Amino acid sequence: MNRKVAILGAGSWATALAALLANKGLQVEVWSRRVQLVEEINEKHENLRYLPGVILSDKLKFKVSMEEVLSGAGYIVFCVPSFAFRGVLQEALPYLTDGAVIINGAKGIELDTLQRLSEVFFQEAGPGKFEYAVLSGPSHAEEVSRGIPTAVVCAAFSEESAAAAQDLLMTEYFRVYTSPDVKGVELGGALKNIIALGAGISEGLGFGDNTTAALMTRGLAEITRLGVTMGANPSTFAGLAGVGDLIVTCTSRHSRNRRAGIEIGKGRSLQEALAIVNMVVEGVRTTSAARRLADLHGVEMPITEQIYLVLYDNLPPREAVFNLMSRDRRNELESNLG
């Protein structure tokens, strides 16, 4: 397998993975359609827009030609927002080499179809032509790019695909586990963003650690309920793509979803909050998708429902908290299951 790595996208996560792989001595090329961004990164060896302060290897090349970036690449890493995944994939398919290892670093659910991104991939690419793995876990780009010890998970439908992604990405500070549960890893990585919005809203309202802990715990319960109903392994949600990613996204200063939630909790509108964060906040679309999935599968997701009402129906955040706190009395163990 050709060891050239192509990365599609030039945001913070794409840049962090590019830096990691370039530091391993691999040939890495990064695609972005934004000419000015590409020129600036190649000139300054720093992604000032998305990952300031991280100096990039001068061997790392950013390009606007997707064909050039993908030419001869044995590994392709998708790091585009989930809503752009299908379009970028369609654009990339003519240039992908049969047998290439595809690693998807996006975390989300396609809103129009409610498909997970692996479903989108195989619908467009067809079966059998490529190895496919999904990368998830608690891994903020700001820390990975600075060599801070991090553990993640790569899930794939075959051991060979998972091992190929693991071998490519593993370093002394970036530990990669494998998993066969693609569905669970994808759902955990997507749904935790909803709870992180809630954690931010709670902080913006002036609430404390008790509230955040309650949101995270009960949020994990409803994530697990939906995931298991959809066929995921429940153990996945106790792992890196579940509780691990949930913890970091709900508590970290690097979390876009948490930051957007804080602004909403302070009284700003959704659009105002998104403008302040000024980067993609995956949890907003995921909240709408998850609400529809919960209805489709008959799964109770009260936190997701209230966050949806705050985001899309202008429900005051304090009313959402009251609605959650005043629900009918429940047994905790029974409510974990349904």
- Residues acting as catalytic residues: 192
Residue 41 token pair: 């990164």
* Strand ranges (E), 82-207: 101-104, 131-136, 150-156, 174-179
Q: Which residue in 142, 149, 212, 223 sits closest to 186, CA to CA? A: 223
165 and 154 Cβ atoms separated by less than 8 Å: yes
Backbone phi, psi, residue 271, to 5°: -65, -40
Give the single-character DSSP code of 71. Answer: T
Q: Which residue in 148, 164, 96 sits closest to 124, CA to CA? A: 96
Nearest-angstrom CA–CA distance, 233 and 236: 6
Task: Name residues whose C-beta falls within 8 Å of residue 221's C-beta, 6 or more positions apart in sequence.
Answer: 335, 336
Give the single-character DSSP code of 176. Answer: E
H or E element: which one contains 90? helix 85-92
Backbone phi, psi, residue 158, to 5°: -135, 150
80 and 8 Cβ atoms separated by less than 8 Å: yes
* Strand ranges (E), 56-114: 61-63, 75-78, 101-104
